[in-house]
Each structure stands twice: as C-alpha cells, then as structure tokens.
Homo-oligomer: A and B are copies of this chain.
C-alpha cells in the first residue's frame, strides 16, 4: 500500500485512479472535491435486466449514473478501467463474498455489465459548505453503513434489504442537512430516516455492517441516507451466480461533477 497523499481533495479523477491502479487501497470520502463518486455492481449479462429494474424500482438507494456495454470496462462518466481503478473490490459467488482485492482483473468476465450507482459522498461537500459537520471525514474513517429491516422492492430474481449510511447531525442542523441533500435526488437525495435507529432494525450504531463506527455526540441526531451498497446486499440476499462490487466506502471516482446532479 502506498502512503496516502497529503490532500486527496485536490487530486483529479485521473490522478486518483492512477494511485488506486498502483495499489493504494483507502476509503475515498473527501477525495477529488467536486467530482462524483459512485458505487459499483457488475453482474453477468443474464442478470442485468433484473438489476437494472431493481435499481429503477428502488431509486433512492440505487440511482443509476451509468451502465457499461457488456464486457466494457469504462463508461461515459468513468474514463478509467473499472477492473483496476477503484481502491478495493469484493467478489461474490452465489452471493458469498469470496475475495476482497485491490485489482479485479483476474475475476472480470467478458459478459459482465457494470452499473455505476450514485453515492452520498457527492453531497458531502455541499453539507460541509452549509456548515453541517460530516463526522466520518472529521474522524478520518469510512462512513458507517447498516443493513436495515426495510425490504427493497423486488425485481425478478433480485431482492434484499435497504442499506443506509449514517451521519450524526446536531439537532439544530438537521433541517439544513435535509434541505441540502434533497437537492441531489440522483445521489440518494434527502434522508430516509431521522432519529431512532431501532425503527430501521439497527440494534447498535457502534456495530455497522459496513464501514467504521463514528462518534455520536450529545445533542446530535443520527440521520440515515439510502446507500449504494444496497445492490451488494441484494447480491448477498439473492445469490446470483457471480458479481463484483466495490468494497464499501472505496468508491469509483468518476469524471462527472457533483454539480451535474443538483436540482433545480
């Protein structure tokens, strides 16, 4: 693993992707400020329709930014190589994670269709700009993510639980956090839940299913956004024969700009 560069926020997507291609494997929150980060899920062509429909039916967790041609390893919004230019990957066989790798080339198959799914990191710059703290960036950790008890709407063979990311927000800034993130509907948009984690079936905020726990301080409310790891939870629940995802928090850094996804 290479040393983490001093200020990843100022790198270009090309520079960041070159670092990851060279072997750097770190969470990408805060990297390449203003550039859109994306979740990856790649599945064999025979499962592509069900995954695309699953995304269409669950647009809050699964906003599709782009889809590759079968076998292609780049897309309009990602000029790099999807097999190598993310910091880390998880490989699934029949829904079981069988490998976590920094280079997915040896696992990539010619019939894979790759989906790039919007990521809530996109609106974190806007949150910071509005003076709303983003705890996992402050603490230099991966964002905490949780499987919930809420089922997604099924599509063919593919179903599974909603996954959420959590950011602790001071009570007086919750409205700001909602207002700011609602302007990014294609990258998860407004929160799906504000407050009591147990209503989402989350027993312990300190034990996230993916990523790292972060501190929740006095006067802060846990706020939950739909998360692009949801397709990987669907892989685990639905067990298609093969899939490759990004390692949660270790995103594809695209060439798109966060401002492309703001409305109106």
Q: Judge whether A202 is part of the interface by a CB distance below 8 angstroms.
A: no
Give the distance to chain B from A180, nearest Cβ to Cβ, in Å: 9
B53 touches A182 (CB 8 A): no
A22–chain B nearest beta-carbon distance, Å:
32
Interface size classification for chain A = 10 to 19
Number of copies: 2
Please tell me if A263 contacts chain B, counting CB pairs below 8 Å: yes
Which residues from B are CB-within-8-Å of A56?
52, 56, 64, 67
* A219-249 CB contacts (< 8 Å) to partner B: none
Q: Which residues of B contact A67 (CB under 8 A)?
A: 53, 56-57
CB-contact partner of A52 in B53, B183, B185, B189, under 8 A = B53
Please, which residue of chain B has its CB at the minimum distance from the CB of A156?
B69
Binding site for B on A (CB under 8 A): 48-49, 52-53, 56-57, 64, 67, 179, 182-183, 185, 189-190, 263-264
Q: Can you list 13 A-B pairs with a CB-CB distance of less than 8 A?
A: A48-B49, A49-B49, A49-B52, A56-B56, A56-B64, A57-B67, A179-B264, A182-B263, A183-B263, A185-B185, A190-B264, A263-B263, A263-B264
